Copies of this chain bind each other. A is one copy, B any other.
Amino acid sequence: MEVTNSVKAPKGSREEIKNYFSDNVKTKHCPITDILSRLSDKWTIHTIIILGKSENLRFTEIKKLIPGISQRMLTVTLRTLEEDGLVTRTIYPQIPPRVEYELTPLGRSLVGQLIELSDWANENMVHILRSREEYILKKN
């Protein structure tokens, strides 16, 4: 069995770049792509952040806090978060039903990352928006 990946290669070398891709793309399990793709829809990050600001919230409370989200989209979002172990879902068997959502420790550890990225996004959004405008002008 030949080991070719993750071998130390000179920094910035073509070999080092190739190793990155052997490790990430070719093995077909690139965690960052996987995770970012889960975070980057229209509602997931908002949901994590509001859950991060509270201990626990009920379905309808969350829904009221996210203007514009539909019931289906909130369900889908929360289920995906639960599936990934970022959120717990606790059902109290009452009628009308009562379901509480809460971030897991794993979920809470991600909130920090999201806030950092959020800061970067907020700081640089102006440049990005200006860049997009210039790009449109350049095309015409």
Task: State the A residues within 8 Å of B (CB).
Answer: 12, 16-18, 20-21, 24-26, 29-37, 39-42, 45-46, 49-50, 53-54, 65-68, 82-86, 106, 109-110, 113-114, 116-118, 120-122, 124-125, 127-128, 130-132, 135
Known: A127-B85, A135-B83. A68 touches B33 (CB 8 A): no
Known: A12-B53, A46-B30. A131 touches B40 (CB 8 A): no
Whether B35 pairs with A65 at a CB distance below 8 angstroms is no
Q: A20-B53, A31-B125, A32-B122 are in contact. List 15 more A-B contacts (CB 8 A).
A: A17-B65, A20-B49, A21-B50, A21-B66, A21-B67, A25-B66, A31-B121, A31-B124, A32-B45, A35-B125, A35-B128, A83-B132, A84-B131, A85-B132, A113-B120
Cβ contact of A124, chosen from B26, B33, B106, B128, cutoff 8 A: B106
Complex formed: what's the CA distance from A68 to B39 in Å?
23
Complex formed: what's the CA distance from A135 to B46 in Å?
23
Known: A66-B21, A122-B31, A125-B35. A82 touches B12 (CB 8 A): no
Complex formed: what's the CA distance from A117 to B18 in Å?
21
